[in-house]
Amino acid sequence: MVKKTVFLLLLLIAGARAGNLPLIGLDSKGNPTEITIHKNILGSKMKEAVGALSESTIDSLDKKKLSFYKVSIGTYVKMKLGLGSVITGTAEPYFKLYFTKKGN
Amino acid sequence: MIRYLILFLFFSTSTFAKEGHLAPYWFVDSDEKSFREDNLDSIDSFLKDYVESHESLGLNNEKAFDNSSWKFSGFQTSLALGLSGKLGIYSWGGTKVLEVDWTRKEQQKALEENVISFNESTTEESIDSQVKFIVGTMVDSGKVKNENLLSQGLKKTMKDFHILGESLSQMSFSGWRPNKLRLEMGIKATGKIVFGPVVKVGGDVRLRLEWKSTGLKKRVTKTSNKELKTFFEDMGDILFSSLPRYEKKGLSLSRVEIGLGLSAKGKIAIAELGGYGVPSVFFKKSENYNKIVKSEGLKGDILIMSEGQEKSFGKNRMFKVKKRKVRKGLKKAFKFSYKFMEKFGSKVSSRSQWKIKKIKSQFKFSLGGSLGPVKIKGTPHLALYFN
């Protein structure tokens, strides 16, 4: 019985940790800060953010006649996390998106 | 029961404690023979999950852009190291330890950032005209209020930068040679120019100056700086004797970026990248990659400069490190970057529509002279670029 409990406990801990990704940065006071987010949540929020950003960027690039053919946009994406309204936090992964004119 | 508790404690400390962290091996000046080399297994599952969460980015709404003349062609993700050595996704500012550029499998062309380029053909007049254009654009857009402050600061920075580039272009090197200077700067709304790491860029406008020789011979009247030449030659020797001369499969080391610093007495040092308003220098392998570095060439010290975010630095910003120690650190930095690249690459599925185009890894010297991956609160002294 004890063996089973220990085994299950270990499995539970391992399961809870699996798939979690840490986000690391500095807060506004310059102190290191860390938050964990599940890879599936991060993946879907990133997809959503990249989709919206690329759509609006390409839309505005199409409207302007620009002489250059490469554009890069660096951005932090603020993601609200939490359980209901009690435990909330924000994650802000940083990434850059690259756009090129077709044919280049 | 106690037996199981011990077993549990053993598992929770030995199995999980180091999970996701880089081993201390990468941060200390180790006697390689006495250390068991770390194979980055502790970050294996992190990288697997990380890659999985990024592999299909931007692919779901591609059809929406069929009629557009633009396309989403790539992205860059960044990683950071916590103070304990924990690896994570770079967020909220600080310093990145690794940058990974992803591109679509069929694409090969490099993407440029916003860059103001300099070379032998650049003249004082062309600098003045560029300054006028930048200041005009920024004032018109309302991003900067003090036109004079920006104009004066920008002119001085760009002209000093150009003088250094011209001096560099007069020197000749073999093996690993300095071929590019870079200065990153930010412009505040007040018109003030700032250098070095910014906790979070915020509303500042970022500019990058790059000086790259076109090979054009130009008679330059400025006296060449002997101190500068000796420093570049020493660094070239260290790089040549520490970095592999052979090409491995996959991405290969293309450039090494080193921060430059100047002491009050005009001594040149390896400094934090962009930390002092002095450019960083890029070393590149010469095409004719044959050189003999005599052992005397690796005797003596090289100066390292540090802003001193660590309290231990105090006011002593400059410290001497044996050239051989720098060489040892570089070997390890290369080893780390290469192992990381291999591990990271192995996580990207062969069916993925994205591939890794470029990886940049950043390192910092400690007061003891060892070179390790830079942590979130530090500022790197050098960067290795693989593409």
Averaged confidence pLDDT in chain B: 82
- CA triple B287-B97-B386, angle to 5 deg: 20
State how far the Cα of B271 lies from the Cα of A70, in Å rounded to an integer: 32
Out of A30, A35, A70, the one facing B111 most closely (by C-beta) is A70
Tens digit of each residue's pLDDT (9 = 90 or more) over B299-328: 999 999 886 544 444 454 788 899 999 999
Nearest CA in chain A to B75: A97
- CB–CB contact A70 B82 (8 Å): no
Distance from CA of A95 to the nearest CA of B (A): 5
CA atoms within 13 A on the CB side of B151: 12
Distance from CA of A80 to the nearest CA of B (A): 14
- CB–CB contact B94 A70 (8 Å): no
Distance from CA of A11 to the nearest CA of B (A): 11
**Residue B11 pLDDT more than 60?**
no
Question: Mutate which of A24, A63, A96 to disrupt the B interface (most B C-beta within 10 Å)?
Answer: A24
Nearest CA in chain A to B4: A6
State how far the Cα of A67 lies from the Cα of B66, in Å rounded to an integer: 21
Tens digit of each residue's pLDDT (9 = 90 or more) over B134-163: 898 888 888 888 889 999 999 999 998 998
In total, the C-beta contacts within 8 angstroms joining chain A to chain B are 175
Tens digit of each residue's pLDDT (9 = 90 or more) over A12-34: 555 555 688 999 999 888 889 99
Residue boundaries of the structural domains of chain A: 20-100
Out of B45, B73, B93, the one facing A98 most closely (by C-beta) is B73
Q: How confident is the model at residue B55 (pLDDT cuts 50, 70, 90)?
A: confident
Out of A23, A50, A99, the one facing B91 most closely (by C-beta) is A23
**Residue B66 pLDDT more than 60?**
yes
Q: Specify the pLDDT at position A16.
A: 55
**Residue B219 pLDDT more than 90?**
no
Looking at chain B from residue 107 to 126, which residues have their Cβ under 8 Å from any Cβ of chain A?
107, 109, 111-113
CB B66 within 8 A of CB B347: no
- CB–CB contact A94 B78 (8 Å): yes
Place of tokens 């004797």: B241
State how far the Cα of B305 lies from the Cα of B268, in Å rounded to an integer: 9
Q: How confident is the model at residue B57 (pLDDT cuts 50, 70, 90)?
A: confident
Distance of CA B138 to the CA centre of its chain: 28
**Residue B6 pLDDT more than 90?**
no
Residues in A closer than 8 angstroms to B74, CB to CB, are 97-98
- CB–CB contact A27 B75 (8 Å): no
Higher-confidence residue of B174 and B322: namely B322
Higher-confidence residue of A103 and B376: namely B376
- CB–CB contact A92 B92 (8 Å): yes
Q: Specify the pLDDT at position B313.
A: 41
Burial class (CB in 10 A: 0-12, 13-18, 19+), B57: buried
B343 contacts chain A (CB < 8 A): no
- Per-residue pLDDT, averaged over B279-299, amounts to 81
Cβ neighbours around B326 below 10 Å, total = 25
Cβ neighbours around B10 below 10 Å, total = 10
**Residue B172 pLDDT more than 90?**
no
B310 contacts chain A (CB < 8 A): no
Q: Which two tokens stand for residue B17?
A: 């404690």
Q: Specify the pLDDT at position A24.
A: 94
- CA triple B234-B239-B245, angle to 5 deg: 140
Out of A18, A39, A51, the one facing B53 most closely (by C-beta) is A39
Under DSSP, is residue A32 helix (H, G, I), strand (E, B) or coil?
Answer: strand
Nearest CA in chain B to A40: B53
Q: Crossing angle for the helix pair A2-17 and B2-10, nearest 10 degrees?
A: 20
Tens digit of each residue's pLDDT (9 = 90 or more) over A45-87: 888 888 888 888 888 888 877 777 788 888 888 877 665 555 5
In this structure, what are the phi and psi dihedrals at residue A70, rounded to the nearest 5 degrees?
A: -135, 135
Out of B46, B109, B376, the one facing A21 most closely (by C-beta) is B46
Secondary structure (DSSP) of B280-335: EEEEEE-SS------GGGG-SEEEEE----SGGGTT--EEEEEHHHHHHHHHHHHH
- CB–CB contact A24 B8 (8 Å): no
Q: CA B67 → CA A61, A62, A103, B64, B70, distances in Å?
A: 13, 10, 13, 8, 9
Tens digit of each residue's pLDDT (9 = 90 or more) over B224-268: 578 888 888 889 889 988 888 766 677 889 999 999 888 777 788
Residues in B closer than 8 angstroms to A66, CB to CB, are none
Higher-confidence residue of B67 and B53: namely B53
CB B365 within 8 A of CB B375: no
- CB–CB contact A6 B53 (8 Å): no
Under DSSP, is residue B100 helix (H, G, I), strand (E, B) or coil?
Answer: strand
Out of A2, A23, A55, the one facing B4 most closely (by C-beta) is A2
B62 contacts chain A (CB < 8 A): no
Q: Specify the pLDDT at position B42.
A: 93
Report, in angstroms and rounded to the nearest whole number, the Rg of chain B calculated over CA atoms.
23
Cβ neighbours around B6 below 10 Å, total = 10
State how far the Cα of B202 lies from the Cα of B197, in Å rounded to an integer: 12
Nearest CA in chain A to B203: A75
B374 contacts chain A (CB < 8 A): no
Q: Crossing angle for the helix pair B147-170 and B124-140, nearest 10 degrees?
A: 150
